[in-house]
Amino acid sequence: MSKALKQAGFTFVGPTICYALMQASGMVMDHTRDCDRYAQLVNGG
Residue 18 marked in a binding site? no
> Cβ(31)–Cβ(38) under 8 Å?
yes
Per-residue pLDDT tens over the stretch 1-45: 888 889 999 898 889 989 999 999 989 888 888 988 888 888 876
pLDDT at res. 1:
85
Q: How many CA atoms lie within 13 A of 31 on its CB side?
A: 14
Instruction: Write the DSSP assignment of 1-45 as a string of letters.
Output: -HHHHHHTT-S---HHHHHHHHHHHTS-----TTSTTHHHHHTT-
Global pTM?
0.63
What is the domain partition of the chain in residue ranges?
14-45
pLDDT, position 45: 63
